[in-house]
C-alpha cells in the first residue's frame, strides 16, 4: 500500500498502474466535502464514470449513484463440481456443454423472448413503492438469467486437483442502468437547486441521507442487488442442469457469491458511514470471495483478511490495462488467438472487435494478487478451459 495526499485528503493505494482518466476522477473524489477518513484504491483501479472502477469511497450523510455505477449489484459466483476435467473431452465440451449454454443463456443485448417465472425474481420487495423498478419490472422478467455484454462472462475452469468449476460474472442488466441513470439525473437537478459546491462536471451528484430521494434510491438499489444475484443464480442453475444432462452422477458444492457494485451502511474507524464499492469486493476476515483474471489467465477463490485501511475490501478482478478502443487498435489479433489456442482454451476471439476483452487488455492477475496480499489470501487457483464472453 502507498499513502499520499490529494486535496488534503489521504489516499491509500494498492495499485502500481493507474490511467490518466482514473487519476482525474481520484482528484475529484478527494475534493468532496463529505468524503470520510480516506480514499482507498484497489490494485485493479482504472477509469470509470465519476468514480474509478476499483475504488472504495466512504461518505458521511450522502449516497452518490455514480459511485455505485450503472450495473448495480454486479458480481461473481462460482461452483465447484465433482466432474474431473479428464472426463470432459474437448468434443463434449465444445459441441454439447458450450453449445447448450449458448442456447439457454442469452448474451450481449439479447434477452429471453418470454417472461421467466416470477418466482425467480427477488421476493419481499414492495414494487409498488418504487419508481424505476415498477416501470421496468416486466422487461426485467425477460432479462433474468441473461449474461449481458462487456466484461461479463461464463467460464468453465479447472482447479489444481483437476475438478471442473463454473464461474460467471454478471449484474442487474438494463434494470440497474435505468435506476442509476434516473437517480443520477435527479441528484444533478437537486444539487443545482441547492447550489451544491460539487461541480456537476465531476459526475458525482449526491443524495443526502435525510432526503426522500435518498430512501427511494436506496430501496431501488437494494432491489437491483437482489435482482443481480437472482440473475446469476438462474444462469448458474441452468449451467448445472446442462452438466447434469451430460453427466447424471455429477454433484455440486454450494455456490460462492460476491457483489462488487453497491453502497452499504458500515462501521469504520468508529463511525457509521456509507461505503461505496465500485468494482471492489468486500473482504472481511474469513469472507470467501472471487477475483477473476482474464479469459486467458487464472482466476482465484480468496479469503478476506479484514484490512481496515481498505474498508475491508479487495480488487474485483485484474482490472483493465487499456481502454476498449486502444485494445482493438493495438493488440495483435493472431498473437492473441495463438496464445489462447496454445492453452487449449475454448474462446470467442475471432475478429479485431473481440480484442477489447483479450487477455492483453488486462493487468497481470498474479501481480494484482501480490499487491493485495495484505487484503486476501488465496484459497484456490482456477485455470480457464472454456469461455463465453458477453
Is 111 labeled as catalytic in the residue annotation? Answer: no
Q: With contact defined as beta carbons under 8 Å apart, do 105 and 98 qualify?
A: no
Low-confidence stretches of the chain (pLDDT < 70) are: none
Q: Which of 276, 137, 272 is nearest to 218 (CA)?
A: 276
Q: What is the pLDDT of residue 390?
A: 82
> So where are the chain's domains?
2-321+362-389
DSSP H or E segment with residue 9: strand 9-13
| CA–CA dist 335, 141 (Å, integer) | 41
Return the ∠ at Cα 45 (arms to 39 and 49), rounded to 5°.
85
Alpha-carbon distances of 22 from 48, 100, 246, rounded to whole Å? 7, 39, 46
pTM, entire model: 0.96
Angle at 274 between CA 268 and CA 275, to 5 degrees: 70
Query: Tell me, what's the pLDDT at 192?
Result: 96
> Choosing from 38, 46, 169, 316, which is the catalytic residue?
316
Contact at 8 Å (CB) between 191 and 205?
A: yes
Q: What is the grid cell recorded at 270? A: 468508529
Q: What are phi and psi of 382, to 5 degrees?
A: -125, 135
pLDDT one-digit tens code per residue, 167-208: 999 999 999 999 999 999 999 999 999 999 999 999 999 999
| Predicted pLDDT at 348 | 85
> What phi, psi does 135 have (nearest 5°)?
-70, -35
The model's pLDDT over 70-92, given as tens digits with 9 standing for 90+, comes to: 999 999 999 999 999 999 999 99
pLDDT at 17: 86
Number of neighbours of residue 208 by Cβ within 10 angstroms? 15
Q: Which CATH number fits domain 2-321+362-389: 3.90.1860.10, 3.90.110.10, 3.40.50.300, 3.30.2290.10?
A: 3.90.1860.10
Amino acid at each position: 500500500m502507498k499513502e499520499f495526499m490529494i486535496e488534503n485528503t489521504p489516499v491509500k493505494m494498492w495499485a502500481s498502474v493507474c490511467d490518466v482518466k482514473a487519476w482525474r476522477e481520484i482528484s475529484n473524489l478527494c475534493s468532496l466535502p463529505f468524503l470520510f477518513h480516506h480514499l482507498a484504491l484497489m490494485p485493479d483501479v482504472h477509469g470509470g464514470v465519476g468514480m474509478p472502477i476499483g475504488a472504495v469511497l466512504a461518505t458521511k450523510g450522502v449516497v452518490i449513484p455514480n459511485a455505485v455505477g450503472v450495473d448495480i449489484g454486479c458480481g461473481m459466483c462460482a461452483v465447484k463440481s465433482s466432474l474431473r476435467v479428464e472426463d470432459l473431452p474437448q468434443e463434449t465440451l465444445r459441441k454439447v456443454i458450450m453449445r447448450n449454454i449458448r442456447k439457454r443463456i442469452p448474451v450481449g443485448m439479447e434477452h429471453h423472448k418470454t417472461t421467466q417465472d416470477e418466482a425467480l425474481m427477488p421476493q419481499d420487495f414492495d414494487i409498488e413503492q418504487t419508481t424505476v423498478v415498477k416501470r421496468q419490472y416486466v422487461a426485467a422478467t425477460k432479462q433474468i438469467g441473461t449474461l449481458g455484454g462487456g466484461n461479463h462472462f461464463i467460464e468453465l475452469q479447472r482447479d489444481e486437483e483437476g475438478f471442473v468449476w463454473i464461474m460467471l460474472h454478471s449484474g442487474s442488466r438494463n434494470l440497474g442502468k435505468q435506476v442509476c441513470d434516473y437517480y443520477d439525473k435527479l441528484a444533478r437537478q437537486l444539487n443545482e437547486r441547492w447550489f451544491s459546491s460539487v461541480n456537476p462536471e465531476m459526475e458525482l451528484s449526491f443524495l443526502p441521507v435525510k432526503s426522500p430521494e435518498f430512501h427511494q434510491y436506496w430501496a431501488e438499489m437494494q432491489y437491483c442487488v437482489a435482482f443481480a444475484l437472482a440473475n446469476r443464480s438462474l444462469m448458474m442453475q441452468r449451467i448445472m442442469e446442462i452438466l447434469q444432462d451430460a453427466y447424471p452422477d455429477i454433484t455440486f458444492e454450494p455456490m460462492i457469491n460476491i457483489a462488487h457494485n453497491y453502497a452499504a451502511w458500515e462501521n469504520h474507524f468508529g463511525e457509521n458511514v456509507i461505503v461505496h464499492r465500485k468494482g471492489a469486493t468486500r473482504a472481511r476476515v474469513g469472507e470467501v470471495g472471487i477475483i477473476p483474471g482474464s479469459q486467458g489467465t487464472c482466476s482465484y477463490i480468496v479469503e478476506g483478511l479484514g484490512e481496515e485501511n481498505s474498508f475491508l475490501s479487495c480488487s474485483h478482478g485484474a482490472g483493465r490495462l487499456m481502454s476498449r478502443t486502444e485494445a482493438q487498435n493495438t493488440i495483435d489479433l493472431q498473437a492473441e488467438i495463438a496464445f489462447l489456442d496454445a492453452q487449449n482454451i475454448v474462446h470467442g476471439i475471432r475478429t479485431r472487435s473481440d480484442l477489447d476483452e483479450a487477455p492483453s487488455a488486462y493487468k497481470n492477475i498474479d501481480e494484482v494478487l501480490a499487491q493485495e496480499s495484505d487484503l486476501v489470501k488465496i484459497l484456490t487457483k482456477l485455470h480457464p478451459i472454456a469461455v463465453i464472453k458477453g
